[in-house]
Structure 1
Amino acid sequence: MKITEIIPIGTILLTIPLFIITTASNSIIEFMKSNLKKDLAVELY
């Protein structure tokens, strides 16, 4: 019973940071893309 109780908590503790990291990295990538587009637009005009 103790092992089965520990496993879900462990998976939750592992999945939450991974989820945060993935969402953060995705938002950073999108931010970088938007900045690159702005820089390219400035260079073109």
Structure 2
Amino acid sequence: KQFDYDQKLKTAVASKSAIEIRSKPFGRDRYGASYWLYTVKILNFD
């Protein structure tokens, strides 16, 4: 629902390509499983 009510976020996301938005895996194990590391950031689209 975040995209339904936040037009500013919706516009910011729509202006970027999928490659720009998609996060890259932090690493992979020997079996090919991908791992991501997320840190908390405050994003400001102003």
Q: Same fold (TM over 0.5)?
A: no
Higher relative contact order structure (alpha carbons within 8 Å, sequence separation ≥ 6): 2
Q: TM-score, normalised by structure 1?
A: 0.25
- Computing the radius of gyration from Cα coordinates, the structure with the larger value is 1
Relative to its length, the structure with more helix (as a share) is 1
